[in-house]
Amino acid sequence: MRDVTFGRYYPSKGPLHELNAALKLLFLVLYIISLFISVSYTGLCVCIIFIFLCIIVSRVPFKSVLRSFRSMIILAFVSSVIVCLTHADNGALAAFTVFVRLTCALCVSALLTLTTTPSEVADGIQSSLSFLRVFHIPVQDIALSVSITLHFIPVLQEEAEKIYNAQKSRGADFSGNLAKKASSVVSILVPLFASAFRRAGELADSMESRCYGSGPERTRLHSAGIHEADVLASLLFASYFLFTISVRLLLW
Amino acid sequence: MVIRFDNVSHIYGPGTLFEKKALSGINLCVEKGDSLCICGKTGSGKTTLIKHINGLLKPSSGEVKTEGFAGLVFQFPEDQLFAPTVIEDVMFGPLNMGKSRGEARAAAEEALARAGMESQFYDRNPFTLSGGQKRLAALAGVLAMKPQILVLDEPTAGLDFRSSASLLKLLHHLNSEGVTVIAVTHEMNLARDYFSKLLILDSGHAVWNGNTADAFCAGNRELIEHAGLEMPQDNEIEFLLR
Ligand SMILES: Nc1ncnc2c1ncn2[C@@H]1O[C@H](COP(=O)(O)OP(=O)(O)O)[C@@H](O)[C@H]1O
Ligand SMILES: [Mg+2]
């Protein structure tokens, strides 16, 4: 159960942890675009090498990155097999493309959450989307919702694990026939939802009792700012991005 | 002997930044019919230890042997009720053990009666019960499986005085009928009044393992206070007045 570590911060204090979160979000979007620009074996391999280098630099162990989306790799694999079978010509490349795009996109998202705390992510979203405020879109509230959601992923994971242990101790069977399995899964989902709703209610009460939303705009304890490392990282990333574009243009 | 721990250590998340040694070199022997209390402050490894008894956790090194079925009642077990009615929830365990619905219902009714819940509650939705009643229902859910060993994690946490007293009385009864009872707590008065054996954990090490009667001598004061616990008080008010 604890293997599902998607959204869990890994405090290894690598250089990626120090970067400005808004910038990292921008990199994430651009990286995913670069995955879709690349259509050849060469191009896709460049994307793979880049994400590998990022993981090495981040000092997050490969195991932790992989573990955070292990279950979804199967999905990527199945879809690439389907693509391979349905494509008449060059099915191998098509399958490879689908597989690499899906796993690298998962990988980069996992890397973002492993190297960025939920509140940094929220601040990053807020500052990169703040221009939307001209259109009266409540960017701050959206950012807070995202941050709370990210905060709650590990909390709910822990809760799910507790309930799983309790029901397993009562003989719940997660591998037997379908009927038994179904009742075992229900025995976890019902208390999990009950506790999620209870927590959400408690959180809302405690925010309200501290006057959330009634004052002027919230200020921040730590402001992110742009540092030398951010400039360097932007240069590096820009060269990667231009490189993938030129691979596409020159090699097809 | 029904439970035996041989030099058991447990490490969470080995090889990651979250690596944590929660148990180190625990040796423990529990005889049939014993009543054992496991004491220690928060984070000392009590829950980790009891999860080894029914195999939810495997030791990182060392060996655990358990004879017979061990029923575990976790902390705040009321959070794990899920069925639409109390009786259905209590029947979940016996049904999982392969009992027929009739047998399971009989076992559930007996367990609920033992836990002190009257038949008017059988068809109630567990989410509508009070906190204390929910805990009794959850306890019945484990009792219905007729465990030879009953393990409870902080059974009295958050209960009022009367509910704790009746819960402890129930444990005492079960114990006198031959059920081996193991409970986790950090309240030393409970340990002294209701359990004959005592294990004190301090940062994953067993610093005391023996008869409760011998544990609270003046010579052990330092050890107990180092473990973050308090010597039991004869009378709380008397103590406060002093
Ligand atoms: N699933 C887990 N993963 C990592 N560390 C854990 C886990 N469960 C407990 N720990 C750590 O192991 C230590 C002992 O925990 P626990 O057995 O729950 O203590 P207690 O029940 O005495 O409060 C604590 O430091 C806790 O943080
Ligand atoms: Mg505990």
Confidence of residue A6 (pLDDT cuts 50, 70, 90): low
Mean pLDDT computed over A124-129: 84
Q: Which residues line ligand 1 (CB under 6 A)?
A: B 12-13, 18, 20, 22, 40, 42-48
Q: Which helix (H) or strand (E) holds A192?
A: helix A178-208
Chain B contacts of A163, Cβ < 8 Å?
79-80
Q: How many CB pairs under 8 A join A and B?
A: 60
pLDDT tens column, B125-135: 999 998 889 99
CA-CA distance, A170 to B145, in Å (whole number)? 8
Q: Given its phi and psi angles, is residue B178 left (phi above 0), alpha (psi -120 to 50 degrees) or beta?
A: left
Which distant-in-sequence residues (6+ apart) come within 8 Å of B224 by Cβ? B188, B200, B208, B215, B216, B230, B231
The Cβ-side half-sphere exposure at B232, using a 13 Å CA radius, reads: 17
Compare CB distances from B74 to A63, A162, A172 and report the shortest one's residue: A162
**CB-CB under 8 Å, B56 with A168:** yes
**Rounded-to-10 torsion of CA A85, A86, A91, A97:** -100
- Nearest partner of A31 among A18, A21, A44, judged by Cα: A44
Report the chain B residue with the minimal C-alpha distance to residue A11.
B17
**What are the residue ranges spanned by the domains of chain A?**
15-116+223-250, 136-209
**What are the residue ranges spanned by the domains of chain B?**
3-68+148-241, 80-147
- Distance between Cα B42 and ligand 1 center (Å): 9
Q: What is the pLDDT of residue A1?
A: 42
- pLDDT at A90 > cutoff 50: yes
DSSP state, residue B218? G
What is the number of the ligand closest to the CA of B205? 1
Chain B contacts of A64, Cβ < 8 Å?
16
| CATH code for the structural domain at B3-68+148-241 | 3.40.50.300
What is the number of the ligand closest to the CA of B229? 1
pTM as predicted: 0.80
- pLDDT at B141 > cutoff 60: yes
pLDDT tens column, A28-79: 999 999 999 998 899 999 999 999 999 999 988 888 888 878 778 888 888 8
Task: Work out the minimum CA distance from A187 to partner chain B, whole angstroms.
Answer: 6
- ipTM, interface predicted TM-score of the complex: 0.89
Angle at CA of residue A164, ends A163 and A167, nearest 5°: 80
Chain A contacts of B141, Cβ < 8 Å?
170
